[in-house]
Structure 1
């Protein structure tokens, strides 16, 4: 993958000038504000035809439905900004959910350990992805696509036709999936906290900003002393850990699991991340934008259901938004690069 380097390198807080950084921040904020406005418009238009769409239960369902995709989107964002991609997140989610459910069913583990074990499963899968990509220098698209099928196959062997039912899961664990705090689902609160922490880290810490530098220009990042392999490995590790946590939360939400858990999630996650403003070519984007992208896609899905429109349109709309977002990001990158180069040339003449 390739992209223009001038506008995106600055988002990392690296070598870009203050003008570059300010311009890109304004563009990203405008993109996120636009997505938030679009979410509100979809909700209002749908509510005109179906007044129940604004009911508390409907809004809670909207947030809950977007939560897991948003959580997976946080890890995916870290990977994509480095010019990589993780297509194994759905399979990791499914494997994590079943292993945790199996341990609850046959070994009666403590409630808290279910989340720890889920994260641990994801860390192992993320470490394998990261090692193959960085140590063997295999393209991440190939590695994670292969891992998608490998993990799904391992999941199928472990499940072997079995199914974890709700009676096997402790109520203290499933409470995370259905309880609310002041009308806001616990699941949405947990994901919002993760998004807030990740967003702060991406803005404040040098290691996180290095990810943007890598995605903007790997050669320049290497010359600047950025430990590229270590940073990319860490991004895959975090993506795997969050996918493992999402598996535990998936089990808490649905209270049952078989070998189909998380099937197809990877495409929904990539679509949400890119629609949310994370450049598929790497180097720019935020986890907040990715979370808003997840909410937007789920809002559209719920709006179609409320309008009694075929669910197949949801996939068509998501695909169309993905194509538009990629084309827009590319056009914007080229346009901003030309503007910055013109400004730099004028400054030199002076």
Structure 2
């Protein structure tokens, strides 16, 4: 009789178990968030009114989008310090190029998104190909963008934005039952937030991103294009900064 070593097939994790594991890992964060919201509601009872809460979300949407984009870079194991200066550049460039002309809104938005792709690509290439630490790379990009804006404007930003550009951060869908107005910025936040969740948890790119952040060498040996994945993460972070800047211009 030949003795054989029994082999056990790995048990696939059920969707419910996967969700519970994810909730357990993030529970402390949501607990802190819930405590903060309750504290704000105690200080300001009107905060729980739907219109007031949506007004709060409208102003918070740019920061939340910025954080969502930054998440891709952090998951990949890198940092992006340039997003703040990219928002500044977005605001200044838009006001200077449009200068009150409504017909230039969409061409300038396309240009701004292209600027985001360029900045993110440079950050990614310098970090992955030239092997400069992302902390140094993005800090340098921060200084370059701030210097370029200061040089172009002479320290005194000029120009103005038309209403059809400001509308994304300032206005919304009117006449909505109960909430009265659904801000455009909240809709943009929900849509892009859903896209971010799908990218991270439902695509091959998301799996590769987590693999790279966990162990870049092992991911590379498994056939993952580490440089490409990290560069895409930097591009997504930069694009989120541009969108956040566009929304913030609604309050300019």
Work out the CA distance in 1 between the residues paired with 2:39 and 2:117.
42
Work out the CA distance in 2 between the residues paired with 1:18 and 1:159.
58
Cα distance change of structure 1 residues 45 and 240 upon mapping to structure 2, 3 Å threshold: closer
- Cα displacement (A) at 1:116: 1.5
Work out the CA distance in 1 between the residues paired with 2:172 and 2:28.
28
Work out the CA distance in 1 between the residues paired with 2:201 and 2:109.
27
Any idea what SS the aligned residue of 1:126 has? helix
Any idea what SS the aligned residue of 1:184 has? strand
Q: Is the 8 A contact 1:123 1:240 kept in 2?
A: yes
Residue 42 (structure 1) aligns with: 36
Residue 254 (structure 1) aligns with: 251
Q: Is the 8 A contact 2:170 2:251 kept in 1?
A: no
Which blocks of at least 5 consecutive residues in structure 2 are unaligned? Answer: 1-9
The reply to whether residue 235 of structure 1 matches residue 229 of structure 2 is: no
TM-score where L is the length of structure 2: 0.83
Any idea what SS the aligned residue of 2:99 has? helix
1:208 pairs with one of 206, 209, 212? 206
Cα distance change of structure 1 residues 74 and 45 upon mapping to structure 2, 3 Å threshold: closer
Which blocks of at least 5 consecutive residues in structure 1 are unaligned? Answer: 1-15, 256-350
Cα distance change of structure 1 residues 121 and 130 upon mapping to structure 2, 3 Å threshold: same
Residue 108 (structure 2) aligns with: 114
The reply to whether residue 82 of structure 1 matches residue 79 of structure 2 is: no
TM-score where L is the length of structure 1: 0.61
Alignment RMSD: 2.6
Work out the CA distance in 1 between the residues paired with 2:237 and 2:11.
30
Work out the CA distance in 2 between the residues paired with 1:118 and 1:50.
38
- Cα displacement (A) at 1:174: 1.1
**Runs of 4+ with deviation above 6 angstroms:** 20-24
Task: Flag the structure with larger Rg.
Answer: 2
Q: Is the 8 A contact 1:103 1:109 kept in 2?
A: no
Q: Is the 8 A contact 1:119 1:242 kept in 2?
A: no
Work out the CA distance in 2 between the residues paired with 1:80 and 1:212.
10
Q: Please list the CA deviations of residues 204-261 of structure 1 after superposition, one character each: whole Å capped at 9, or x if unmatched.
A: 221221010011111211111001111111111121122122222222x223xxxxxx
Q: Is the 8 A contact 1:115 1:245 kept in 2?
A: no
1:160 pairs with one of 154, 158, 173? 154
Work out the CA distance in 1 between the residues paired with 2:29 and 2:229.
29
1:165-180 aligned within 5 A: 168-180=160-172
The reply to whether residue 137 of structure 1 matches residue 131 of structure 2 is: yes
- Cα displacement (A) at 1:49: 3.5
- Cα displacement (A) at 1:22: 7.8
Name the count of aligned residue pairs: 237
1:212-223 aligned within 5 A: 212-223=210-221
Work out the CA distance in 2 between the residues paired with 1:43 and 1:79.
28
Any idea what SS the aligned residue of 1:162 has? coil
Residue 87 (structure 2) aligns with: 93
Q: Is the 8 A contact 2:171 2:184 kept in 1?
A: yes
Any idea what SS the aligned residue of 1:66 has? helix
Cα distance change of structure 1 residues 80 and 48 upon mapping to structure 2, 3 Å threshold: closer
